[in-house]
Amino acid sequence: MKRDFIDLSSLAPGELSGLLGLAARLKSELKNGLEHPYLRGRTLAMIFQKPSLRTRITFETGMAQLGGHAIYLAPDDIGIGERESVKDVARNLSRWVDLIMIRTFAHATCLELAREATVPVINGLTDLLHPCQLAADLLTLMQHFGELRKLKIAFVGDGFNLAHSWIEAAALAGFELRVACPAGYEPGKNFVARLRRERLGILTDDPLEAVRGADVIYTDTWTSMGQETEAERRRQDFKHFQVNHALMRHAAREAIVMHCLPAHRGEEITDEMLDGPQSLVLEQAENRLHAQKAVMVWLLRPEILSNVAGSENPKKSVSR
3-state secondary structure (DSSP) of residue 26 = helix
Cβ neighbours for 158, distance < 8 A, ≥ 6 positions apart: 181, 185, 220, 221, 222, 224, 234, 238
Asked if 34 touches ligand CP (CB under 6 A), the answer is: no
Nearest to residue 316, comparing CAs of 37, 118, 19, 5?
Answer: 37
* H or E segment to which residue 99 belongs: strand 99-103
The residue within the footprint of ligand NVA, chosen from 34, 78, 208, 225 (CB under 6 A), is 225
Residue 53, binding choice from ligand NVA, ligand CP, none, Cβ under 5 to 8 Å by partner class = ligand CP
CA distances from 125 to 87, 221, 233, 318 (A): 19, 14, 24, 36
3-state secondary structure (DSSP) of residue 317 = coil
From the CB of residue 60, how many other CB atoms can be counted at a distance below 10 Å?
18
The residue within the footprint of ligand NVA, chosen from 16, 134, 162, 173 (CB under 6 A), is 162
For ligand CP (CB under 6 A), the number of binding residues is 9
What is the C-alpha to C-alpha distance for residues 289 and 296, in angstroms, rounded to an integer? 11
Asked if 48 touches ligand NVA (CB under 6 A), the answer is: no
Asked if 52 touches ligand CP (CB under 6 A), the answer is: yes
User: Catalytic residues, which ones?
Assistant: 103, 130, 133, 220, 260, 288
Q: How far is the CB of 318 from ligand CP (least distance, A)?
A: 32
Closer CB to ligand CP, 217 or 305, in the complex: 217
Closer CB to ligand CP, 138 or 203, in the complex: 138
Asked if 282 touches ligand CP (CB under 6 A), the answer is: no
x-or-dash string of contact with ligand NVA, 99-138, rule CB under 6 A: --------------------------x-------------
Residue 278, binding choice from ligand CP, ligand NVA, none, Cβ under 5 to 8 Å by partner class = none
Residue 161, binding choice from ligand CP, ligand NVA, none, Cβ under 5 to 8 Å by partner class = ligand NVA
3-state secondary structure (DSSP) of residue 102 = strand
- DSSP code of 59? H
x-or-dash string of contact with ligand CP, 126-155, rule CB under 6 A: -------x----------------------
Pairing of strands 34-35, 315-316: antiparallel
Nearest to residue 292, comparing CAs of 86, 57, 94, 128?
Answer: 57
Residue 92, binding choice from ligand CP, ligand NVA, none, Cβ under 5 to 8 Å by partner class = none
Q: Which residues of this chain interact with ligand NVA, rule CB under 6 A?
A: 125, 160-162, 220-221, 224-225, 260
